[in-house]
Amino acid sequence: MIDLSVPIRSGMPVYPGDPDVEVQVVHTVESHGWELRRVTLGTHTGTHVDAFSHMHKGAPALDAIPLERFFGKAQVVRPDGKWPRDRGLFFKEEIGMEVFARLKELRPPFVGGELTEALERELLGAGILTYTSLVHLDLIPEETDFTFYGFPLPIEGGDGSPVRAVAVLE
């Protein structure tokens, strides 16, 4: 198993204009008999999935997307390499609109990596989920099947959610 998630911590980098991240200890074992933290963050903090409603008014929000869409077979691929059908696709380098036509034709269930805003908007509009701010993709051999899990929090009407993204190699 390979954890593809960025740890959530106070002061971590966020997209310009997004809420700052605060993780604050509220209770301690010494003072209350248990430990508890308050977490303040935006829905697109760290490693996260974008709902179709993130960039398209009236499109399905997180709670309207079936859980089956948030996991499945996947591969790490190169923009100019071989892409399999019926697999989620992850890219180690930033990709943009130059790959959209190919992605739209293949219709992977999800795409992950550093995506330009224009590409993310078009993928979501085409019904393809997007995952961003993933780490450790370099630990997964390219063009090798693995099972990806990236479940969102069940945020009612959610436009996106941090996820614990995990790759399970066969």
Determine the 3-state secondary structure of 74 from DSSP.
Answer: strand
Percent share of the chain, pLDDT over 70: 100
**How much is the pLDDT for 135?**
98
What is the pTM assigned to this prediction? 0.94
Query: In terms of Cα–Cα distance, which of 164, 167, 170, 169 is closest to 5?
Result: 164
Does position 170 have pLDDT exceeding 90, yes or no?
A: no
Q: Count of H helices and E strands in the chain?
A: 3, 11
User: From CA 89, how far away is CA 71, in angstroms rounded?
Assistant: 12
- Residue 88: phi, psi to the nearest 5? -70, 150
Task: Write down all domains in the chain, each with its CATH number in brackets.
Answer: 2-40 (no CATH), 48-169 (3.50.30.50)
Average of per-residue pLDDT across 97-119: 97
H or E stretch covering 19? none
Does position 107 have pLDDT exceeding 90, yes or no?
A: yes
Does position 39 have pLDDT exceeding 90, yes or no?
A: yes
Q: What is the mean pLDDT of the chain?
A: 96
Question: pLDDT tens-digit profile of 3-35?
Answer: 999 999 999 999 999 999 999 999 999 999 999
Does position 55 have pLDDT exceeding 90, yes or no?
A: no
